[in-house]
């Protein structure tokens, strides 16, 4: 059974810092991995999608890496801003089931 874990559960940083969020998964037979952002009272927004054959994806200040063999992904946020404050979720597609399996999320607070 695929299990997705995110560390840390919560993180508070001052504005301008670079930070790394971690995601690990138990079954490496995945099609892809996504990072989502969730704002209070709003749905999820997809930030980055990494195919299983890729090592990383970049969008603006965000960079996501994937090491499928070790079951790990990281989301790097450069020069953090208060507007980055949200819950960040990673999700894998594949493994034993063809559905998105989500992690528990990291609650990020960027202090001005």
State in angstroms the smallest separation of the CB of 62 from another protein.
16
Q: Which of 48, 89, 108, 110 binds another protein (CB under 8 A)?
A: 89
Between the alpha carbon of residue 82 and those of residues 12, 27, 28, 94, 109, the distances in Å are 11, 34, 34, 34, 7
Cβ neighbours around 48 below 10 Å, total: 21
Contact 93, 32 (CB under 8 A): yes
Could you give the string, one character per residue 6-35, with x where binding to another protein holds by CB under 8 A and - elsewhere? -------------------------xx---
Contact 74, 104 (CB under 8 A): no
Q: Which of 80, 105, 108, 110 binds another protein (CB under 8 A)?
A: 105
Cβ neighbours around 60 below 10 Å, total: 8
Q: Which of 75, 103, 108, 110 binds another protein (CB under 8 A)?
A: 103
State in angstroms the smallest separation of the CB of 22 from another protein.
14
**Closer of 45 and 58 to another protein (Cβ):** 45
């Amino acid at each position: 059974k695929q299990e997705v874990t995110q560390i840390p559960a919560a993180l508070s940083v001052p504005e301008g810092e670079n930070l790394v969020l971690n995601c690990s998964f138990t079954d490496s037979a995945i099609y892809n991995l996504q990072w989502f952002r969730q704002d209070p009272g709003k749905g999820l927004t997809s930030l980055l999608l990494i195919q299983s054959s890729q090592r990383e994806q970049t969008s603006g200040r965000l960079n996501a890496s994937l090491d499928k063999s070790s079951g790990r992904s990281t989301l790097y946020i450069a020069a953090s801003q208060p507007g980055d404050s949200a819950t960040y979720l990673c999700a894998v597609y594949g493994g034993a089931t063809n559905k998105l399996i989500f992690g528990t999320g990291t609650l990020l607070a960027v202090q001005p």
